[in-house]
């Protein structure tokens, strides 16, 4: 299991959840009630599931694809550790993952 920590835009801890290997971070976030829209339903056609990954965890993730990087260029409040939650797949080797939900994130889909 991976301990996923979701922080609010202001830096306060919002929720900690355990997630199974193979799950997409976007699905974990939706289940945890996080305000990520994911308008494209996770097919990497938008940037509404943008999260900011803690630097230490960011270094352990596989690199973003060129397509993901292009979409992150459209995301408000993007940083050098920004990723799309639909592109982060939890692995057995990932003991924890800490992300911050940017201030523009909204839960439009009622999840």
pLDDT tens by residue, 52-73: 999 999 999 999 999 999 999 9
Asked whether residue 50 is domain-assigned, the answer is yes
Spatial neighbors of 87 by CB under 8 A, at least 6 apart, are: 24, 44, 64, 65, 68
Domain residue limits at 93: 2-100
- Residue 2 β-bridge partners: 19
Give pLDDT, residue 76.
85
* pLDDT-derived band at 19, boundaries 50, 70, 90: very high
- Residue 7 β-bridge partners: 13, 100
Asked whether residue 105 is domain-assigned, the answer is no
pTM: 0.90
* pLDDT-derived band at 42, boundaries 50, 70, 90: confident
Place of tokens 């909204």: 106
Asked whether residue 109 is domain-assigned, the answer is no
Spatial neighbors of 68 by CB under 8 A, at least 6 apart, are: 44, 83, 84, 87
- CATH code: domain of residue 92: 3.10.20.30
Asked whether residue 106 is domain-assigned, the answer is no
Give pLDDT, residue 106.
55
The count of structural domains within the chain is: 1
- Looking at the predicted structure, is the pLDDT value of residue 104 above 80? no
Give pLDDT, residue 107.
46
Give pLDDT, residue 105.
62
């Amino acid at each position: 299991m991976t301990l996923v920590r979701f922080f609010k835009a202001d830096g306060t801890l919002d929720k900690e959840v355990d997630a199974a290997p193979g799950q997409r971070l976007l699905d974990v976030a939706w289940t945890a009630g996080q305000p990520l829209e994911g308008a494209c339903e996770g097919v990497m056609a938008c940037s509404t599931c943008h999260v900011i990954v803690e630097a230490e965890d960011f270094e352990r993730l596989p690199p973003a694809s060129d397509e993901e990087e292009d979409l992150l260029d459209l995301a408000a409040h993007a940083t050098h550790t920004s990723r799309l939650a639909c592109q982060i797949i939890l692995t057995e080797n990932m003991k924890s993952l800490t992300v911050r939900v940017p201030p523009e994130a909204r839960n439009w889909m009622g999840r």
